[in-house]
Amino acid sequence: MSATDLLLAGVLLVVQLGGSFAAEHHHRAQSQLGVVAWILVVVGPVALLAWRRHPVAVLWITLAATLGPSGSRAAYFSLLVAFFLAATGGHRRAAWAVIVVGFVSSVWLAPLAWGQSLTSLDGALILGGWLAVLVVTAEVVRMRRERVAETRAALQAEERRRVSEERLRMARDLHDVIGHNISLINVQAAMGLDLIDTDPDHARAALAAIKMVSKDALGELRAMLAALRQDETDAPRQPAPGLDRVDELVEVTRAAGLPIVTEVSGPRVTLPAAVDLTAYRIIQESLTNVARHAPGAPVTIRITYRPHEILIEVLDDGHVLTSVGASANQPLSMGPGSGIPGMRERAVALGGHLDAGTRPGGGFRIAAHLPLDSPA
């Protein structure tokens, strides 16, 4: 029982007692309320204290409190409140049944039971009209509440969807950052172990590359974790990577032993932030796949600006260099993994598409078409 329920019952009790006293004083010469009638005046407000747990039972109790032979008309206030609470709280059939029973009882059954004159036709029509207005009003309130509840549920579902999409985006970013840098560290570590006895200078360079790559990886991870801890009103402290950082990415990857050539064609334009980030991540993941599955294979990155899209291509010839410990001219495939599906999901999310497959002469090709007018 809440404070609101107590307040509602208290207000109704005061109103009904006050109305009954006023009516008795005004019609003292005609009639006086008996003990039973005064009890019925109190029954309705007291019953409403339990409306949350037993709304239907309370509804019928408040109706019964109005059917006495000399009851006070003030008792109808509790019945009206109980009807609205039941009709708008999911008990429409019970509320309508009470309206019908109350109408029939007031017009015919109660007068016959207590030996009173029947209600006139005009009186019955007026009572029916008021009850119809009451039912329509309750239905309007109920439908409005349902619309508000549906709107709230839709907003909550949309918020959950946005949170889920944001988590998925961050999971992809973590996969790209960790996968790329760990793959480069793995390649450099293997090279250092192979050359530590025969070529200490190259082994030292591999260790320096591991230090640089791990430092960059830690920096990006710190930035992502900081973004997770930020309030919604806080601005990001570090801009998301884009194609302007491809040169840095290429230099770090070259240090891992991948010969890379970058080709850019078409008039450069300012890309939408989502497209810029996606293009960078696709290049990063593609280089990670090459370092993992075809270490040392020559790579070509092509960035083509077109009127309505940007084309990102990453190609390798699949022939591993002997400097990284693999057999010369050994064709390698990309193999299974989540990298390509993740890149494809990124492209599709922007309204584009991504093609991936082996090349006729050996090697692998990633081609992502990203529209510049992406809804994202």
Q: What is the DSSP track for 258-270?
A: --EEEEEES---P
Please enumerate in sequence order all residues whose Cβ is within 8 A of that of 222, keeping only pairs 6 or more positions apart, or say none: none
If asked whether residues 167 and 114 sit together in one domain, one would say no
Q: Give the domain extent around 88.
A: 3-119
If asked whether residues 67 and 182 sit together in one domain, one would say no
Buried b (16+ CB within 10 A) or exposed e, 317-355: bbbbbeebbbeeeebbebeeeebbebbbebbebbebebe
Q: What is the arithmetic mean of pLDDT over 102-114?
A: 70
If asked whether residues 192 and 326 sit together in one domain, one would say yes
If asked whether residues 113 and 159 sit together in one domain, one would say no
Look at residues 336, 297, 330, 341 and name the one whose alpha carbon lies nearest to residue 315. 297
Using alpha carbons, list the distances in angstroms from residue 363 to 248, 262, 317.
Answer: 24, 17, 4
Region of 237 (left: φ > 0; alpha: ψ -120 to 50; beta: rest) is alpha
**pLDDT greater at residue 227 or residue 376:** 227
Q: What is the pLDDT of residue 249?
A: 85
Q: Which of 123-127, 312-316, 323-327 has the lowest mean pLDDT?
A: 323-327
The CA angle 296-192-290, to the nearest 5 degrees, is 25
SS3 state at 41:
helix
If asked whether residues 110 and 207 sit together in one domain, one would say no
Q: Which of 67-81, 186-200, 301-315 has the lowest mean pLDDT?
A: 67-81
Identify the band that residue 305 occupies on the pLDDT scale cut at 50, 70 and 90.
Answer: very high
Assigned domain for 60 exists: yes
Identify the band that residue 326 occupies on the pLDDT scale cut at 50, 70 and 90.
Answer: very low
If asked whether residues 44 and 170 sit together in one domain, one would say no
Instruction: Judge whether residue 336 has pLDDT over 60.
Output: no
Assigned domain for 132 exists: no
Instruction: Judge whether residue 278 has pLDDT over 70.
Output: yes
If asked whether residues 90 and 167 sit together in one domain, one would say no
Report how many domains make up the chain: 2
If asked whether residues 162 and 98 sit together in one domain, one would say no
Q: What is the arithmetic mean of pLDDT over 107-122?
A: 66
If asked whether residues 86 and 203 sit together in one domain, one would say no
If asked whether residues 213 and 355 sit together in one domain, one would say yes
pTM of the model: 0.49
Beta strands in the chain (DSSP E): 260-265, 299-305, 309-316, 353-358, 364-371
Q: What is the arithmetic mean of pLDDT over 43-72?
A: 78
Assigned domain for 304 exists: yes
**pLDDT greater at residue 133 or residue 175:** 133
Instruction: Judge whether residue 219 has pLDDT over 90.
Output: no
Instruction: Judge whether residue 327 has pLDDT over 80.
Output: no
Using alpha carbons, list the distances in angstroms from residue 351 to 6, 47, 339, 347, 368.
Answer: 57, 61, 19, 7, 11
Q: What is the pLDDT of residue 374?
A: 57
Q: What is the pLDDT of residue 370?
A: 94
Q: Let me know: does 314 contact 288? Beta carbons within 8 Å.
A: no
Assigned domain for 126 exists: no
Specify the DSSP element, H or E, that contains 287: helix 273-293
Q: Which of 48-57, 70-79, 147-156 has the lowest mean pLDDT?
A: 70-79
Assigned domain for 138 exists: no
If asked whether residues 308 and 357 sit together in one domain, one would say yes
Assigned domain for 224 exists: yes
Assigned domain for 45 exists: yes
Instruction: Judge whether residue 232 has pLDDT over 60.
Output: no
CATH number at residue 362: 3.30.565.10
Query: Which range has highest mean pLDDT (101-115, 162-176, 224-238, 254-268)?
Result: 254-268
Question: How far apart are alpha carbons 106 and 220 in whole angstroms?
Answer: 78
Assigned domain for 277 exists: yes
Domain termination site, one of 103, 119, 135: 119
Domain termination site, one of 75, 96, 119: 119
Q: What is the pLDDT of residue 44?
A: 79
Q: What is the arithmetic mean of pLDDT over 251-277?
A: 86
Q: What is the arithmetic mean of pLDDT over 206-228?
A: 73
**pLDDT greater at residue 214 or residue 34:** 214
Q: What is the pLDDT of residue 233?
A: 46
Q: Over the chain, what is the mean pLDDT?
A: 77
What is the sign, positive or negative, of the torsion defined by CA atoms of 272, 277, 283, 289?
negative
If asked whether residues 106 and 182 sit together in one domain, one would say no
Q: What is the arithmetic mean of pLDDT over 280-294?
A: 85
Identify the band that residue 290 occupies on the pLDDT scale cut at 50, 70 and 90.
Answer: confident
Identify the band that residue 165 occupies on the pLDDT scale cut at 50, 70 and 90.
Answer: confident
Using alpha carbons, list the distances in angstroms from residue 295 to 7, 153, 331, 342.
Answer: 77, 51, 11, 21
Q: Which of 68-77, 143-152, 309-318, 339-348 has the lowest mean pLDDT?
A: 68-77
Q: What is the pLDDT of residue 55?
A: 84
Domain termination site, one of 74, 94, 119: 119
Look at residues 134, 107, 135, 133 and name the one whose alpha carbon lies nearest to residue 121. 107
What is the share, in percent, of the chain residues with pLDDT greater than 90?
11
Q: What is the arithmetic mean of pLDDT over 187-210?
A: 78
Instruction: Judge whether residue 113 has pLDDT over 90.
Output: no
What is the sign, positive or negative, of the torsion defined by CA atoms of 248, 250, 252, 254?
negative
Instruction: Judge whether residue 126 has pLDDT over 70.
Output: yes
For residue 70, give the amino acid letter.
Answer: S
